[in-house]
Amino acid sequence: MPLVRLSDDDEPAPNLAPMIDVVLVLTIFFMCATKFSGDERKFDLDLPQAEAAATITGGRPEIVEVDEAGGLRLGGEEVALDELAGRLAELRTARPDVAVLIRGAKTVAHGRMAEVYEACRVADVRQVGISVQPRSDTRRR
């Protein structure tokens, strides 16, 4: 740190302004970074487990959540199944490379998940992923 000489009689003192600026910028950065991961924790779902998973490439994915009762939420808003394809098509028009991440509870019926996949296919969304939790044990089942 550069030392600032206040006068001939005073001892040199460290300049704290740059350090305070850096701490402030880092605080703002971490506050914004935690906001992005908050969408994944907004609703408490018991996700299925998987051995290995791949990440979705591109920008931030749109999140479709399927709860235990089969209810759907797109980006935190309740949406009906017949509206889902239209809403996804609107998002795809705005962003041609849009990705969709489906978060379905472990107990959701396969048929309901297939309906959500079909809505993504009708909307012509090319990147569709399923949100899973990594298995805690390494044994194969």
Give the pair of three-digit tokens for residue 81. 């199944």
Locate the DSSP E strands across 5-83: 13-14, 49-50, 62-66, 72-74, 77-79
User: In this structure, are 60 and 119 located in the same domain?
Assistant: yes
pLDDT band for 111, please (50, 70, 90 cuts). confident
Indicate if 79 and 126 belong to the same structural domain.
yes
Which residue in 57, 52, 54 sits closest to 134, CA to CA? 52
Same domain, yes or no, for 20 and 62?
Answer: no
Is the pLDDT at 137 greater than 80? The verdict is no
Considering the entire predicted model, what is its pTM? 0.57
